[in-house]
Amino acid sequence: MPSLDVVASSLASGFFLGGIYALTALGLSLVLGVMRLVNLAHGEFLILGAYAGLFLLKWTGVDPLAGLLLVGLAVGLLAYPIHRFLLTPLRGKGPEAPMMTMFGVSIIMQNLFILLFSADTRSIERDYATASLSVGPVTIAWIYVIGFAVSVIAIGLVHLLVSRTAFGRDLRASAVDPFAAAIVGVDVQRVHAATFALGAACAGIGGTLIGIAFSFTPSSGATYLLTNFAVVVLGGMGNIMGTLLGGVTLGIMQSLGGIVLGDGYRDLVGMVLFLIVLAIRPTGLLAGKS
């Protein structure tokens, strides 16, 4: 049995890592909640953010943390034409066609990553990526703490955008009833396009943090997609603040699984928790929009 110090450090790490999970899942939750789209390419947008952070550092020398907004903007701009030319023509044709379209985009993006960046395992190497913060007997990786802080700020800003702005009002109306929203003058197609781009931007920023904390490959997006689905189900589809709670819950549960069963079972614990919640409460523990 691990010592209490090891258990405390593991749980604290899970808590802060959960914040990063929440940011990576935020875009998936938004797109699901507003567009009712299962974006199967969400994991690839995340990995695109990791590659963007890596090459931003390599080509310009700009620290990836300083360039997070630039990475998010770039990934969001790349996502916009995907919505415009691939998803817009499928509007009103049911959920299956857009979902399978995004599955095709996912496969294309994975192959483009291999073609452009090779299949090698990469990571964004920074001093703070391997440094640790010690508070008494508890030791936490600095990147987890930094990522948690960035995630809380980003999630808070998105919450304010959705709850306090005219765009947020249109977004909420489009999520509840797009046909009624269109009748009263809301440009639902524009709202959907902006939501899709915003979701990709959040994934890109979270992907840069993931790229600093962990290594990644062109196919790593699939693993993070499953993790993000678990966060969304735990937090409630479309619930912005619930996404943060869902991420933290998943991070802690994975840490407990690692303590009890071994590190190799961390993902298994997360998926089991995901399936249990999905079976009992499909709309999530904190269903609703916020």
72-104 confidence digits (pLDDT tens): 999 999 999 999 999 999 988 888 999 999 999
Domain count, the chain: 1
- Predicted confidence at residue 137, as pLDDT, reads 87
Distance, CA of 272 to chain centre: 19
pLDDT band per the 50, 70, 90 thresholds, residue 16: very high
- Predicted confidence at residue 211, as pLDDT, reads 97
pLDDT band per the 50, 70, 90 thresholds, residue 290: low
- Predicted confidence at residue 267, as pLDDT, reads 79
Domain assignment present for 258: no
- For a pLDDT cut of 90, what percent of the chain falls above it? 78
Domain assignment present for 174: yes
What is the C-alpha separation between 238 and 289, in angstroms, rounded?
A: 5
Amino acid at position 3, single letter: S
- For a pLDDT cut of 70, what percent of the chain falls above it? 97
- Predicted confidence at residue 203, as pLDDT, reads 97
Domain assignment present for 219: yes
What is the C-alpha separation between 216 and 88, in angstroms, rounded?
A: 31
Amino acid at position 38, single letter: V
Domain assignment present for 109: yes
Q: 139 pairs with which residues across the strands? A: 134
Q: 103 pairs with which residues across the strands? A: none
Taking only the tens place, the pLDDT of each residue in 257-289 is 888 888 777 878 878 877 888 788 776 666 554
Domain assignment present for 69: yes
Block residue for tokens 């703490």: 145
Q: Is the pLDDT of residue 194 over 70?
A: yes
CB atoms < 10 A from the CB of 100, how many?
Answer: 13
**134 is written with which tokens?**
């010690």
What is the C-alpha separation between 258 and 10, in angstroms, rounded?
A: 8
Domain assignment present for 33: yes
What is the C-alpha separation between 201 and 221, in angstroms, rounded?
A: 15
40 and 192 in contact (C-beta within 8 Å)?
Answer: no
Mean residue pLDDT across the chain: 92
Domain span including residue 151: 17-228
Domain assignment present for 171: yes
Domain assignment present for 147: yes
